[in-house]
Amino acid sequence: MKKAKFGLGLVVGAIAGVVAGLLTAPKSGKETRADLKRKKDEVKDEAGTKVSEAKARARAAAGDAKAKADDLKNRAARAAESAKEAFSAEDSETSKEKNSK
Per DSSP, the residues of the chain read -HHHHHHHHHHHHHHHHHHHHHHHSS--HHHHHHHHHHHHHHHHHHHHHHHHHHHHHHHHHHHHHHHHHHHHHHHHHHHHHHHHHHHHHHHHHHHHHHHH-
Flag whether pLDDT at 42 surpasses 60: yes
**pLDDT value at position 16?**
83
CB-based contact 35:27 (threshold 8 Å) = yes
Flag whether pLDDT at 63 surpasses 80: yes
**pLDDT value at position 55?**
92
CA distance 10 to 79: 50
**pLDDT value at position 91?**
64
**pLDDT value at position 20?**
80
Flag whether pLDDT at 100 surpasses 70: no
Give residue 98's pLDDT band: very low, low, confident or very high (50, 70, 90).
low
**pLDDT value at position 99?**
61
Task: Considering only residues 35 and 60, tell me which one the structure prediction assigns the higher pLDDT.
Answer: 60
32: which residues sit within 8 A by CB, 6+ positions away? 22, 23, 25
